[in-house]
Structure 1
Amino acid sequence: MTDANAAIDARILQTNQRLKAAHMGFQIERRGQKLGLRGMLPPRPGSLRLKPSQQRLSLGLPATSAGLKQAEQTVKVIVAQIIQNSFDWRQYDSGSGWGRLDQIGLAQQLQAFEHHFLTEPSRLSHPASAKTTWETAYSPYLRKLEAIAQANPQLSFVEVLYATVRATEDNSRSRQVCCTALGALAKFLSVELPIDLKSLWGSYGLSQMRARTLPSDALIASTWESIPNPGWQFVYAVMATYGLRNHEVFFCDYSALLQGKPEATIRVLNTSKTGSHDVWPFYPEWVDHFNLRSIQLPAIQTDLTQTTLQRIGQRVTSQFRRYDLPFSPYNLRHAWAVRTIHFGLADTVAARMMGHSVAVHNRTYHQWMTHRDQQQAVETALNRNQLVAPGGGKAEG
């Protein structure tokens, strides 16, 4: 520590002793060559806190005798403002995101964010997927944010951001997607948020999957027979047998099926949402039962210069509704995943086939995995300990 820093620290200590004796409730701190305060302050703009809490406030004053004198005066002003209920963070915090929003500036920022999102190197190899993700998972919430900003010009960016999140339903997928989109925007704009948006996701995902009633395999097989159109029968059967997303059926390499290869794998092409990956059938017997070696895709628009992956997926959903099927297309995918769990397929392998991360897989299908693991543990214990049951004979393993 330099002599200058040691000298100013000694003066800060003396000043803080005076503030403590006067019951001001604040301390002055030196952080590098700048001075700030620490004490009980009202919630920052956009914070979900309802009561004052211990917080830091950067004054931007130099760590000098003159700066320290001004900091002591600022403490007295802030205490008076708190007593009069007139304290306003925006008088003191000049950090990014706390100023009033310039509507033209916001529109330009959103345009820049869109360009950044679509041209990131990781997305350039999957432009159709990137466009679909933007249109379905980002654009709706950014439009909502822009509308809230226009209706409330007095709000800061951070306040508008949290208001947009609160405008979505609690514990819903829309809340989760909104938090993801706005979190990415804040990161792009280098805006530091006082509350991590991930903490506002709620309990969507696990609770929803627990509540979901999946169709039985027998119902899946019998429902296929009720579809009158061979092309849509094929779409349904491929989704049931391989656990594909709605749109993925139209972007697969079916050559192994056409060539009669016994493993009957298909490859989801790079065009799709998660890139190229191979998928095996569960049940393998369904390949022949559903006549999947005869490729019969319905004739719909799949040119991604004319349509999007989202619209293709919506077409599948609308056909399910048209034929009055008793469950949604995604239930076929979830049923496939649970089926692999019952077969004992490694979770890492199943996640790869489904084109998502192991973390997402484990979170989504936690309920069934837990039951599988418990069942295996029980069977192992029973087989290892052949105890004699009361009444004679060994306990069954």
Structure 2
Amino acid sequence: MDLDLTTTNQALRNRGAKLTLYVVPGRGTIGVRGTWTDAAGVRKQRKAGLGCPATPGGLIEAEQIATAMHQAISEGIDPTTVVLRAKHQPGQAIPEKPVTVAEAIATFEKDYWQTRKRLPNTELTWQRYQMILNRLPANGVLSLGLLQQILLETTEPDSRTRQMTCMQFERLLKKSGVEGSEQLRMLRGNYKPQERELPTDEQLVQLIDVIRPTKWGWCLAAMATFGCRPGEVPSLQLHRDGTAECLSIKEKLRLPTPRTCFAYPKEWIDRWTLHEVEIPTGPLEEARWIKPNQFDSADSERWVAAWRGARQAQIYKETIAEVFGDDYRFDIYDMRHRWAVRSIEANVNQSLCAQSMGHSLQMHEQRYQRWMTATDLRAAMAKLTM
């Protein structure tokens, strides 16, 4: 039995269980020793008889009980309840061998790629998931208690990191069939992102007037004027009435759908000669998708990445610093958000604006509620003071 016990105890440690099986002297049965907290809340080193015979078959049964005890300890439960259940229910199956963290992550990853294509954006998302999941001990037994412990030790309350970690741990439990995701959800906290600092229209005009003659100038001006997403810019087809057609690429893993958007203000079309379409190819042979079947999300991701990289050009750095100051973190998505706020401040019909931007009115109101409320209050105050 000595060799078998050594092998079994090593297997328990590989699963994160700090318990040791041994043969009870003079009884011919197997016991377990370790440190745990009993029902009275006292934590100390203890021993417990498992009642399993000191035979190869009994050792297998004892290993299963010890593994279930480890899971109970991880969840803050007195593990002797597992021993009592095993002793008083002969013939019933011992709880299944718990899943290790490594096994659970492997299952999670397999499920993730079964429902997604390998694209730059999905690869990046999985890398973010991995950064969170790598905080867990690979050889540990997956349990609610373990995830709660890691969550509380590695994240701050009400932080985005806490929220994102909690969400991934919940998914890991669900995919592995382990209970506890609802209890984890309660630990997400009340994280709220900081309000985005947006440029004024005066600053945008000053910036784009300088940038317009450069490689990515048309794209920046078009996005500021029509409020579309960066990856939708190559699909813009302008009309003379101030509207344009573009492909709405909001839905991932689906072909984009055509939508109509409008320029606001319309005079920016002539100011920056937007009818003269100038879309740089960047890393692609052709960066222009007009029909849904011409769109490729991987190409779009690379193209947008090249556009964002253009901010490192000297003319960008100098102009941004001059217009916004050295500390301002400019992003091309500011063009889209500023379009929405501009339309709100001008009391343009927000249902039409939501359609133009390619999302629902509900999402539009949620995202830009702060500016809508401020505009409504100013309008009400103007009436009161008339």
TM-score normalised by L of structure 2: 0.60
Residue of structure 1 aligned with 2:275, choices 293, 308, 314? 293
Cα deviation, residue 247, structure 1: 2.6
Secondary structure of the corresponding residue to residue 113 of structure 2: helix
Residue of structure 2 aligned with 1:317, choices 308, 315, 318? 308
Amino acid at match of 1:246: P
Name whichever of 312-321 and 143-152 sits farther off. Answer: 143-152
CA spacing shift, 1:298–1:117, aligned 2, 3 Å: same
Secondary structure of the corresponding residue to residue 372 of structure 2: helix
Cα deviation, residue 330, structure 1: 1.9
Residue of structure 1 aligned with 2:223, choices 236, 239, 250? 239
CA spacing shift, 1:213–1:271, aligned 2, 3 Å: closer
CA spacing shift, 1:198–1:253, aligned 2, 3 Å: farther
Secondary structure of the corresponding residue to residue 216 of structure 2: helix
Cα deviation, residue 296, structure 1: 0.3
Residues 1:142 and 2:121 are matched in the alignment: no
Cα deviation, residue 341, structure 1: 0.8
Residues 1:197 and 2:185 are matched in the alignment: yes
Cα deviation, residue 309, structure 1: 4.1
Considering only aligned residues, what root-mean-square deviation do their CA atoms show, in Å? 3.8
Secondary structure of the corresponding residue to residue 341 of structure 2: helix
Cα deviation, residue 183, structure 1: 4.2
Amino acid at match of 1:108: A
Residue of structure 2 aligned with 1:226, choices 195, 199, 210? 210
Residues 1:278 and 2:236 are matched in the alignment: no
CA spacing shift, 1:194–1:99, aligned 2, 3 Å: farther
Secondary structure of the corresponding residue to residue 112 of structure 1: helix
Cα deviation, residue 106, structure 1: 2.3
Q: Name the CA distance, whole Å, in 2 between partners of 1:283 and 1:99.
A: 65
Cα deviation, residue 85, structure 1: 3.6
Secondary structure of the corresponding residue to residue 39 of structure 2: helix
Residues 1:262 and 2:241 are matched in the alignment: yes
Counterpart mapping for 1:37-48 below 5 A: none
Give per-residue Cα distances to partners, 1:130-161, cap 9 Å, x unaligned. Answer: x4553333x13431244223456256366337
- In structure 1, the partner of 2:111 is 113
CA spacing shift, 1:109–1:172, aligned 2, 3 Å: same
Q: Name the CA distance, whole Å, in 2 between partners of 1:300 and 1:284.
A: 28
Cα deviation, residue 294, structure 1: 0.9
Residues 1:377 and 2:359 are matched in the alignment: no
CA spacing shift, 1:189–1:290, aligned 2, 3 Å: farther
Q: Name the CA distance, whole Å, in 2 between partners of 1:150 and 1:359.
A: 41
Residue of structure 1 aligned with 2:335, choices 332, 337, 345? 332
Counterpart mapping for 1:1-397 below 5 A: 81-85=39-43, 88=73, 89=75, 91=79, 101-118=99-116, 131-137=119-125, 139-150=126-137, 153=140, 156=143, 159-160=146-147, 163=150, 167=154, 176-190=163-177, 191-195=179-183, 197=185, 200=188, 202-205=190-193, 208-209=194-195, 212-227=196-211, 229-250=213-234, 252-254=235-237, 257=238, 260-270=239-249, 273=252, 275-276=256-257, 277-302=259-284, 307=298, 309-322=300-313, 323-324=316-317, 325=320, 326=324, 327-380=330-383, 382=384, 397=386
Q: Name the CA distance, whole Å, in 1 between partners of 2:302 and 2:40.
A: 54
Report if aligned partners of 2:105, 2:172 keep a CA contact under 8 Å in 1.
no
Report if aligned partners of 1:281, 1:287 keep a CA contact under 8 Å in 2.
yes
CA spacing shift, 1:172–1:219, aligned 2, 3 Å: farther
Structure 1: gaps (5+ residues): 1-77, 119-126, 383-395
- In structure 1, the partner of 2:27 is none
Secondary structure of the corresponding residue to residue 123 of structure 2: helix
CA spacing shift, 1:174–1:364, aligned 2, 3 Å: farther
Report if aligned partners of 2:151, 2:166 keep a CA contact under 8 Å in 1.
no
Give per-residue Cα distances to partners, 1:326-354, cap 9 Å, x unaligned. Answer: 42212222211111111223444433433
Cα deviation, residue 286, structure 1: 0.9
CA spacing shift, 1:346–1:263, aligned 2, 3 Å: same
Q: Name the CA distance, whole Å, in 2 between partners of 1:141 and 1:278.
A: 34
Report if aligned partners of 2:101, 2:142 keep a CA contact under 8 Å in 1.
no
Secondary structure of the corresponding residue to residue 268 of structure 1: strand
Amino acid at match of 1:156: S
Q: Name the CA distance, whole Å, in 1 between partners of 2:186 and 2:222.
A: 35
Taking every aligned residue pair, what percent have the same amino acid on both sides? 21
Q: Name the CA distance, whole Å, in 1 between partners of 2:332 and 2:240.
A: 27
Secondary structure of the corresponding residue to residue 265 of structure 1: strand
TM-score normalised by L of structure 1: 0.59
Give per-residue Cα distances to partners, 1:38-91, cap 9 Å, x unaligned. Answer: xxxxxxxxxxxxxxxxxxxxxxxxxxxxxxxxxxxxxxxx99533424783464
Amino acid at match of 2:333: Y
Q: Name the CA distance, whole Å, in 1 between partners of 2:300 and 2:267.
A: 30
Secondary structure of the corresponding residue to residue 283 of structure 1: coil
- In structure 2, the partner of 1:389 is none
Secondary structure of the corresponding residue to residue 82 of structure 1: coil
